[in-house]
């Protein structure tokens, strides 16, 4: 049994190499890393509101160094026009007047009061810091988690399906029906190949983008989550390959998964927009598992039990579909 598994495993690896599966993974790894370092980290910055003060008489003596002075009302208008989130303070009439571009109601109130507070010195205590991550660390972990999820569910999934459909097309399943092998080995060797390649991808992506020390600390839990997600996606890919007629039909199913299933998950998990029904979304829990692994938050045992149950169920479904397919061919 060991020998036949090795033979199948070798054959699957060769097929992935010839299908340029690994090449694509390396390409995407380079693309993701470049995106994080050259784009995302720089893009994800939001400095405090700029405050512009027009004070020709110099009445505001206690102002904070964060306040920028302008020489005329025209200069202030120009500054506000180019920086619509900024706040203008006009002290030319004696009384201070706040000028700002309208946005959301709550935010506007805060902007105005914040700008005014900068005119007086105050020794308010610095906020207590409860977490351990800096903004950059958080951004790196968040985007790495997103990209790993995207790679496993979307890009890798498409690769898996392409390889499997190719096998189906050239009649490998038909050959398996008459081979003197245990039928489960076909599924197991596929799962092992995809699992190993996903794990290597996760290790490289995490170490390159989160940083070696930080990345190594979270790696064990991340790898466990990656394994769960990878097994699920490989099984779903296998199921699609066995049930659907060709790659074109699959692309259709894939589009639906990618757009309608992934968008609400990303919105709910990464922003303060929360949907009431999101707990019913299976992808949400898997994504949160991965995210919690990156941020070192405890993961509930119920989730692990659910994930294990889902993998077993999917495996049984794939086994059933595979036997049916073999029966059809035989």
Partner 1 sequence: MKGLKYQLKSVLRDKFCLMTFLLPILAAVALNFMGSIDMSSLGELHFGVLENGLSPQTVTWLERYGPVTAYETQEELTAAINEPSTNVIGVQADGDSLRTAISGDELDIFQQAAATLPALYERRETAEQVEVQMLERPDILESLQGIFIPAVLIVAMFMGCTFNAMNIISEKEDGVAFVNEILPMTPSQYTFQKVVVGFLFGSLSSFVTACICFQMSGLHFETMLVLIVLSAFVAAMIGLFIGKLSEGLMTGVVYIKIVMLLFLAVPLVCALIGVSGPLAVICNIVPSQPAFEGIMALSAGNTKTALKDIGILAVHCIAWFALYVLLATRREKRSI
Nearer to partner 1, 1 or 130 (CB): 130
Judge contact between 141 and 208, C-beta under 8 A. no
* Distance of alpha carbon 231 from alpha carbon 57, whole angstroms: 70
Give, for 68, the enclosing helix (H) or strand (E): strand 67-69
Nearer to partner 1, 193 or 269 (CB): 269
Residues 6+ apart with CB under 8 A from 137: 210, 211, 214
CB of 297 to partner 1, least distance (A): 8
Per-residue x/- mask for partner 1, residues 174 to 213, rule CB under 8 A? Answer: ----------------------------------------
Q: Which tokens is 213 given?
A: 């020390």
Eight-class DSSP state of 296: T
Per-residue x/- mask for partner 1, residues 245 to 274, rule CB under 8 A? Answer: --xxx-xx--x---xx--------xxxxx-
CB of 182 to partner 1, least distance (A): 32
Judge contact between 238 and 259, C-beta under 8 A. no
The reply to whether 65 sits near partner 1 by the rule CB under 8 A is: no
Give residues 295-314 in contact with partner 1 (rule: CB under 8 A).
295, 297
Nearer to partner 1, 127 or 330 (CB): 127
Nearer to partner 1, 130 or 302 (CB): 130
The reply to whether 135 sits near partner 1 by the rule CB under 8 A is: yes
Give, for 53, the enclosing helix (H) or strand (E): strand 51-54
Q: Which tokens is 29 given?
A: 């790894």
Task: Judge residue 256's burial from the number of C-beta atoms within 10 Å of its C-beta, 0-12 exposed, 13-18 middle, 19 or more buried.
Answer: exposed
What does the H/E/C string look like for 297-317?
CCCCHHHHHHHHHHHHHHHHH
Give residues 71-130 in contact with partner 1 (rule: CB under 8 A).
80-81, 84, 95-104, 106-110, 112-114, 116-118, 120, 122, 124-130
CB of 14 to partner 1, least distance (A): 18
CB of 317 to partner 1, least distance (A): 24
CB of 56 to partner 1, least distance (A): 18
Give, for 89, the enclosing helix (H) or strand (E): strand 87-93
Nearer to partner 1, 83 or 184 (CB): 83
Residues 6+ apart with CB under 8 A from 298: 292
The reply to whether 46 sits near partner 1 by the rule CB under 8 A is: yes
- SS3 assignment, position 52: strand
Residues interacting with partner 1, by CB under 8 A? 44-49, 80-81, 84, 95-104, 106-110, 112-114, 116-118, 120, 122, 124-135, 137-138, 141-142, 158, 162, 247-249, 251-252, 255, 259-260, 269-273, 275, 291, 295, 297
């Amino acid at each position: 049994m060991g020998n036949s598994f090795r033979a199948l495993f070798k054959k699957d690896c060769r097929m992935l190499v010839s299908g340029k599966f690994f090449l694509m993974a390396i390409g995407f790894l380079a693309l993701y890393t470049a995106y994080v370092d050259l784009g995302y980290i720089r893009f994800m910055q939001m400095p405090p509101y700029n405050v512009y003060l027009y004070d020709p008489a110099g009445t505001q003596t206690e102002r904070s160094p964060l306040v920028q002075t302008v020489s005329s009302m025209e200069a202030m208008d120009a500054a506000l026009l180019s920086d619509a989130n900024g706040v203008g303070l006009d002290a030319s009439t004696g009384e201070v007047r706040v000028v700002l571009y309208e946005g959301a109601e709550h935010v506007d109130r805060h902007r105005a009061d914040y700008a005014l507070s900068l005119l007086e010195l105050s020794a308010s205590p610095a906020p207590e810091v409860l977490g351990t991550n800096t903004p950059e660390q958080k951004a790196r972990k968040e985007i790495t988690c997103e990209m790993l999820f995207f790679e496993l569910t979307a890009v890798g999934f498409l690769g898996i399906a392409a390889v499997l459909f190719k096998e189906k097309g050239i009649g490998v399943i038909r050959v398996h029906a008459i081979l003197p092998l245990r039928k489960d080995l076909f599924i197991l060797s596929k799962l092992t190949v995809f699992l190993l390649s996903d794990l290597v991808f996760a290790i490289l992506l995490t170490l390159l983008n989160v940083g070696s020390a930080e990345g190594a600390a979270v790696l064990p839990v991340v790898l466990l989550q990656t394994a769960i997600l990878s097994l699920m996606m490989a099984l779903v890919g296998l199921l699609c390959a066995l049930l659907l007629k060709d790659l074109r039909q699959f692309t259709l199913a894939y589009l639906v998964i990618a757009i309608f299933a992934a968008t609400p998950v990303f919105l709910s998990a990464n922003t303060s927009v929360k949907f009431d029904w999101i707990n019913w979304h299976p992808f949400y829990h898997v994504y949160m598992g991965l995210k919690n692994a990156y941020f070192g938050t405890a993961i509930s045992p119920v989730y692990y039990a659910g994930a294990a149950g889902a993998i077993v169920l999917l495996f049984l479904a794939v086994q059933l579909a595979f036997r049916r397919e073999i029966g059809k061919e035989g």
